[in-house]
Structure 1
Amino acid sequence: DALDAELALVREKIRAGTLREYVEGQCRVRPWLTALLRLGDFEYTYLEERVPAFRQNQLLADTSEALSRIEVVRFAQRVQERYAPPDLDILLLLPCAAKKPYSISQSHQKFILTLGKYRKFVHEVIITSPLGIVPRELELTYPASHYDTAVTGHWDEDEKAWVSGCLEAYLSKHGYKAIVAHVEGAYREICERVAEKLGIDIVYTAGESLTSYESLLNLKNTVESICTSENFSQKKQNAEEEKKNFVKAVAGYQFGEGAGLLFSEEVGNPVVKGRFPKYQLFAGKKQLATLIPQYGMLALSPEGAELVLKSEKYVVKIDDFVPRGSILAPGVLEADPEIRPNDEVIVLGKKALCVGRAMMSGREMEESGRGVAVDVRHVKKL
């Protein structure tokens, strides 16, 4: 009876998307259970294939094991591998905020207001645990806007090492002419570690309080002096370019190399319409994609899908039929192994091109004999 009750509870946690939080809580009562959880996290490839691209509920990062959670590691890896920053010369490093997305928090609103007209010259990257670093363009993307963690003001060595590694990898790959850090405490310690290791200069602007008049004035004066110096290149992004870079970054995170096809010469000059966070990508009068604020990823239109299809990524191939509703696993002939549950996917058959959300991984689609493979949203007959 106890086993049946526990199995029923586990099933409920799976449905609610909170199994990981439940396991982390339960394993605290036995050292061997904690060891088992940590050993399980080493099986990254096996687990990552089965963990959804996003969840509806909040990700609670309350334990040291949160640093090895699939969602956390996947986000950090994609930032390093898929993210391309805007072409700007100044990097501004900022601390995270309790309110998500960061840009609507009280502290970040003050930072943005302080930068004023010089903000268009600056690329903003947020330092945070457990995600490492979050470029401003990805602040909506799961799990950047969906996590919560216990805030004490004290970081343990594992956190510092992990976040330092993320920042170091990013700065090793992307160069800036000037780096400004408006941080304090452990955030500053992390920046100093990375600066020393890479042999780069970082200008620190915060005093005792990040949002004090003196600190904000120092931030403004520092950025202004860099922007008005004789050797400054004046690289900047206007409001339209900022919106386009935002959508482009999300597309890159989501689709990898295939995202560039949404912004290729063939498209012409795509335009992002709408106000944050409800952005829509258009090519002329054709809508290519919509940013879904709830989880910070793009939903493709059939026209957008036709462009991304050329990359042959996130594609599910089906037999000779026109889908009506969901596509079941037995109807799948082939699926991209990179597909994860909840990924936006393109379904291609001889008679139809569809767009929808994956309900299982690409491998599961090919191997399963039952279950919904894709929840179809748009169907275009060929």
Structure 2
Amino acid sequence: MGALGRTVVGRNRYARIIGLGDRRSPCVHTPCIVKIDGDPDIHQSIAPFSFFRDGSISPANLTLETLIEEMDISSPPKIIKWQTSEGQHLPPELSEADSGKLGGDDNFLVVSWQTLHHDSRLMNDSLAPDIVILVDAPQLISTGQIFLEAVTTLRERFPSSLLWAPGISGPDNAALLSWFGLDLFDCARARSAASAGYRLTMNGPRPMDEDENANIWVRDWEDSLRFIRSSIKTGNLRELVESQVLNSPRSVEHLRRHDTLLKGRKSILASHVSQDRRFRFISSSSRNDPLVHDWKIRVSDQYTPPSHCQSVLLLLPCSERKPYRESQSHRRFSRHIPFTCVDQVMVTSPLGLVPRSLEDFWPAAHYDIPVTGDWDSDEITMIHDMVQSLVDRIGYQVIINHSGIDLNSIKGDLELIDTRKNSTAGSPEALERLESTISDVVKRLEIRGPKGHRHRLEMYRSASRFLYGNDTWLSDVKIEGRPPRWRIEKEGKQIAQWHPRAGRFAFSKSCLNILHDGNVLPRIHLVPDVEWKGDIFVSIIESYPDGIREGDDILVMQNSILIGSARAVAPGWEWKGSPGKVARSHHRIG
């Protein structure tokens, strides 16, 4: 048997575009279709596999093969064929019974909900099949929760494998299934719908017109796969998913359950993204996104304001333009905030609160949401809870509320001052009240705030604590240069630069030992004696920490010695065996 070439060329959490064939020039990409017996002609660019089930014997024999020789990276390339037994699987409700017959082999793994509980092969860390089939997917998907648990378990357990759940996909839910982590689909549902006189489109089923060809659903599949691939590339697959799930209550249920399942999992998220990446919150489902949950938890539990801003909390409304400081409304606010010793925090939905020192970060600087000025009860409750968490943890003495939201329910030994008084935030009278209130409070509390670079440095310390958990690397530094990319220097040498558009610190090579000594960045360890050339691949990694996010800066160690740094291009769940690089090399020492 040949060798199926695989490399990740695009990713959006669990959804990936995997190039098949030569790593530098793949001949076809996932997500794609597996042709089954009876399918019409489908172009190989979207259907590069074929599948046959021989049920004349028991257990049935399964055959899967490639349709393009160049998918094989061995020499000479040839059609790859996988053949294995289907096994005998008990229904999901009998998952506790350790009986039946296992299916599949090391290259073509066949699993069910029952065998996920009892197949000892799954405990073998070296097991890395080319293809994994979840054979009882049609039964599992009707239950919702255990289907999602099965797919998520398989996706994280086998990051290098192509995952297929036969019999459940169609143009109407392929984006959702790709979001869950499936790579391969089939046309069984689309063919079944066509035989009943319905066309299964990206927006759900509809009666087929009399003048439509019986196989017109092939076009719907082609359009769906192209939309999915494009959305993965741009990082907007969630937006496509949310628009499509509305065609089916079951799909809405699955998305909600999936969001709940993934809450608290850091290893699927990104810490930094490209400048042009947008996160569009187009429906109430967006509030359940694990990214939103992660932001709310981190701000509530981990954010600490600059040291001189811990007495007065100033709540401001958000703006359509991001980052907020570049909007006209926030430029007006800044002219009426005469002191730096107030902690400016923006009130928004669905993120809840965005502190000024974090406004350049993902997703705060990248989200779009329809602005109506109205707040529903869930949004108000979320904001109240986050403000209360900050008050309890930071210990503000005064809250100056210019957000327009009623916060009288906030508890604590503090003073709450409303500067809006039912006026618009930018009205002359409201701005005058804002300025006079800040001046009075600062004078009464006898607090002061540094200006210029001293204030900027404290803002960077706050950002560093949020990103890395500490700010030790910023001890005894100075800020030099010109805005917006200020240089951070230590003992006359540049150790970092702030990149506001990227929302990150760019560390120089001279900073690596400082970061190492301060235990600032996560560390990965390379296999001893391997020569580090190029980027970071799974094959040269000896160990890595849990919770790596896409975009994280990482220190590279070998034989317990710091040898350089890298930047994660894959989230933590892929580091077990992703086909392709998981980090891009940055600096090297020595």
Do both share a fold (TM > 0.5)? yes
What are the superposed Cα offsets for residues 88-130 of structure 1, whole Å, 9 maximum, x if unpaired? 32221111111111112111111111123xx223221111111
Q: How much does 1:313 deviate?
A: 4.5
What's the counterpart of residue 143 of structure 2?
none
Residue of 465, 474, 478 corresponding to 1:263: 474
Instruction: Within 5 Å, give how 1:304-319 maps onto structure 2.
Output: 304-310=511-517, 311=519, 313-319=521-527
Q: How much does 1:364 deviate?
A: 2.8
Instruction: Within 5 Å, give how 1:85-104 maps onto structure 2.
Output: 85-87=305-307, 88=309, 89-104=311-326
Q: Would the alpha carbon gap of residues 227 and 16 (structure 1) be closer, same or farther in structure 2, given more than 3 Å must change?
A: closer
What's the counterpart of residue 292 of structure 2?
72
Q: Secondary structure at the match of 2:336?
A: helix
Q: How much does 1:160 deviate?
A: 1.5
What's the counterpart of residue 29 of structure 1?
247
Check if 1:9 corresponds to 2:234: no
Check if 1:359 corresponds to 2:574: no
Instruction: Within 5 Å, give how 1:203-282 maps onto structure 2.
Output: 203-207=417-421, 208-229=423-444, 232-256=445-469, 259-264=470-475, 269-282=476-489
Q: How much does 1:289 deviate?
A: 2.1
Q: How much does 1:357 deviate?
A: 1.1
What's the counterpart of residue 146 of structure 1?
366
What's the counterpart of residue 112 of structure 1?
334
Unmatched 5+ stretches in structure 2 = 1-217
Q: Secondary structure at the match of 1:295?
A: coil
Cα distance in structure 1, aligned partners of 2:334 and 2:438: 12
Q: How much does 1:3 deviate?
A: 4.3
Q: Secondary structure at the match of 2:408?
A: helix
Cα distance in structure 2, aligned partners of 1:316 and 1:292: 25
Q: Would the alpha carbon gap of residues 182 and 5 (structure 1) be closer, same or farther in structure 2, given more than 3 Å must change?
A: closer
Residue of 322, 326, 347 corresponding to 1:127: 347
Q: How much does 1:275 deviate?
A: 4.2
What's the counterpart of residue 106 of structure 2?
none
RMSD, aligned CA: 2.1
Residue of 299, 306, 325 corresponding to 2:506: 299
* Structure with higher helix content: 1
Unmatched 5+ stretches in structure 1 = none
Q: How much does 1:20 deviate?
A: 0.6
Residue of 354, 374, 377 corresponding to 2:583: 374
Cα distance in structure 1, aligned partners of 2:471 and 2:265: 28
Q: Would the alpha carbon gap of residues 128 and 276 (structure 1) be closer, same or farther in structure 2, given more than 3 Å must change?
A: farther
Q: How much does 1:5 deviate?
A: 4.8
Q: Would the alpha carbon gap of residues 65 and 93 (structure 1) be closer, same or farther in structure 2, given more than 3 Å must change?
A: same
Q: How much does 1:40 deviate?
A: 0.5
Q: How much does 1:157 deviate?
A: 1.6
* Higher Rg of the two aligned structures: 2
What are the superposed Cα offsets for residues 177-223 of structure 1, whole Å, 9 maximum, x if unpaired? 22211122xxx22x233x2x446431011242211211111111111
Cα distance in structure 1, aligned partners of 2:383 and 2:282: 16
* Bigger relative CO (Cα 8 Å, ≥ 6 apart): 1
Residue of 46, 50, 60 corresponding to 2:268: 50
Cα distance in structure 2, aligned partners of 1:131 and 1:285: 39
Q: Is the contact between residue 552 and residue 568 of structure 2 (CA under 8 Å) also seen in structure 1?
A: yes
Q: Is the contact between residue 449 and residue 455 of structure 2 (CA under 8 Å) also seen in structure 1?
A: no
Cα distance in structure 2, aligned partners of 1:82 and 1:304: 25
Check if 1:324 corresponds to 2:533: yes
Q: Counterpart amino acid of 1:211?
A: G
Worse overlay, 9-18 or 340-349 = 9-18
Corresponding residue pairs, total: 364
Cα distance in structure 2, aligned partners of 1:5 and 1:214: 54
Q: Counterpart amino acid of 2:540?
A: G
Q: Would the alpha carbon gap of residues 71 and 223 (structure 1) be closer, same or farther in structure 2, given more than 3 Å must change?
A: same
